[in-house]
Amino acid sequence: MELIQVADDVGDEMTLVSYNGRRYPLFPGSMQTRPLEKIPSVEIRSDDIIVCTFPKSGTHWVCEMVRLLVAGQLDQDIGKGFHVIEGFSEDTYKDLPSPRILNTHLLFNELPKQVKENKPRIVYVTRNPKDVTVSYFNHVKKLSYNYSGEWKNFVRPSLEGKFDYGSWFDYVKDWEEVKKTTDVPILTLNYEDMKEDAFREMKKMQTFLGTERSDDFLQKVCDRCSFASMKNSKEPLSQIMYRKGETGDWKNWFTVAQNEWFDQIYREKMKDCPLEFRYTLK
């Protein structure tokens, strides 16, 4: 595990962690606890629920919905149940009562070995890559990446996978392959679908997780987890993590040329992958 500087298109750098040929953000305290080196041996229980996402795809939103759904009661603890497998020492979540809700941006094959043995339930969330890239740029600018670069120089290296967690394309394609072969149970959710109808997607979570909450309770969870409610929470990073919460903000950022470049890259990289995304909602 070592700290590295990674440059954008014009040489503006950000600070990342490099480990085993992959790049990660510098989680607070992670250089001391070195969680990346310990991932393979992290204990996973069969009743764990693991939320898997490419960064900025709605991780906090889904973790919160799952947490309240499982708890069966509403509380004020928004954000407190956020346990990133690769970000923090296992000590911070190993003694939590079952079912634990963990989350990660790792690829399936990078997850702890016991995932394949104990088959926890995985909730996998996708989001359209244009909004992901905008959200990620804003995230990088505000958190401890030491990055002072500009959007125009960030888009290409970001989508080509130069920064933390690599390429969005590689990530989603890998999960599509995993879903064809693994017997670990996986529910796929999508940010745009949740924006369209959070209650409908919540029902899917309920079926997958086997909870038996009333429609009235599910609606209350959706309301508690609305963007406005989460942004107004007392969570320390709420103003950064809950930025805009919209589909289509990319139109305020991508130039015509960037958009054309993106569409071409998308066609090339996704030609063998039937995934489709919605970039606007009516």
What residues make contact with ligand A3P under the rule CB under 6 A? 53, 55-61, 131, 135, 138, 225-227, 230, 241-245, 249
Least Cβ distance, residue 258 to ligand A3P (angstroms): 17
Of 127 and 213, nearer to ligand A3P (C-beta) is: 127
Least Cβ distance, residue 113 to ligand A3P (angstroms): 25
Least Cβ distance, residue 59 to ligand A3P (angstroms): 3
In angstroms, the first-to-last Cα distance of the chain is 45
**Cβ-count burial 190-205 (b if 16+ within 10 Å, e if not):** bbbbbbeebeebbeeb
Q: Is the peptide bond before 120 cis (omega within 30 degrees of 0)?
A: no
Structure tokens at 68: 């309240």
Cα(19)–Cα(149) distance, integer angstroms? 24
Active site residue 105: yes
Integer-rounded Cα radius of gyration of the chain: 18
Least Cβ distance, residue 66 to ligand A3P (angstroms): 13
Exactly one of 60, 83, 105, 139 is catalytic; name it: 105
Give the closest residue to 243 by CA, choosing from 52, 56, 28, 14: 56
Of 53 and 158, nearer to ligand A3P (C-beta) is: 53
Of 45 and 141, nearer to ligand A3P (C-beta) is: 141
Helices (H), 108-148: 114-118, 129-142
Q: What amino acid positions are annotated as catalytic residues?
A: 105
